[in-house]
Chain A
Amino acid sequence: DIQMTQSPSTLSASVGDRVTIACRASQSISRWLAWYQQKPGKAPKLLIYKASSLESGVPSRFSGSGSETEFTLTISSLQPDDFATYYCQQYYSFSSFGPGTKVDIK
């Protein structure tokens, strides 16, 4: 199984901040990584696929980068709607998710 880790587990930030979330895979997954946003009581929402491709309709302040085992999700200027939990998912070998990073209000 490919294990996914994320850091930090919680991130406190203010509106307008640049936010970076890291995701690490236990082995190389090339660029087969997606990022999701989840709000309480809701299903996850796809933000990024193939490490850096922005899903249609997702604001351009979201971006993804990385390859092999190290990946990053960046929110260039945090908006009130962005306070949520973010998950990375590898889909190189079957599929597995990271434990999540909660972005809350500082």
Chain B
Amino acid sequence: QLQLQESGPGLVKPSETLSLTCTVSGGSITNYYCSWIRQSAGKGLEWIGHIHTSGSMRYKPSLQSRVAMSVDTSNNRFSLKLSAVTAADTAIYYCARAREEIVVESAALGGDYYYYFYYMDVWGTGTTVTVSS
């Protein structure tokens, strides 16, 4: 049974970089999308972005300048880095497997358009990160 577990420092100082790891067990991460989501009292659930084991990634536009995701396939791990944190980044951080749906549309002049959609089907237990000096 696939399980995901987040880990990392529970306390980060303002302006520093938050670094978290998501370790996957019970299955291979080959051809696997990992999403990062956070939950705070102020903003509710917020999608941060996702990364594929190939290295392709997509970030929430408003966080893009501060976010970096990476993958370590040899150790079944994904990582999240969020730079220049403030108190607003205090939250429970989750990693989750993202399931992909592909829609193919035929173009009028030939060829196909591919559209990709992702939702989260298996979640980690979450880790609390507090930003405070």
Contacts and interface: CB of A to CB of B under 8 A. Distances in A.
Contacts of B120: 34, 44, 46, 89
A43 B47 contact: no
Given A43-B126, A87-B45, A97-B44, A92 B117 contact: yes
B124 A43 contact: yes
Given A43-B123, A46-B119, A49-B119, A94 B99 contact: no
B132 interface: no
A1 B43 CA distance: 14
A94 B58 contact: yes
A67 interface: no
Nearest to A31: B117
22 contacts: A1-B61, A1-B62, A32-B117, A34-B119, A43-B123, A43-B125, A44-B45, A44-B123, A46-B120, A49-B119, A91-B118, A91-B119, A94-B47, A94-B58, A94-B61, A95-B47, A95-B118, A96-B46, A97-B47, A98-B44, A99-B44, A100-B45
B121 A46 contact: yes
B94 interface: yes
Given A95-B119, A96-B46, A97-B44, 17 more contacts: A34-B120, A42-B125, A43-B96, A43-B123, A44-B45, A44-B94, A44-B120, A49-B121, A91-B119, A94-B47, A95-B47, A96-B47, A97-B45, A97-B46, A97-B47, A98-B44, A100-B44
A45 interface: yes
Nearest to B126: A43
Contacts, number: 54
Interface of B: 35, 44-47, 58, 60-62, 94, 96, 99, 101, 117-121, 123-126
A42 B96 CA distance: 13
> Chain A, interface size: which category?
20 to 34
Interface of A: 1, 32, 34, 42-46, 49-50, 55, 87, 89, 91-92, 94-100
Contacts of B125: 42-43
Contacts of A45: 123
A56 B58 CA distance: 27
Contacts of A92: 117
A69 B48 CA distance: 23
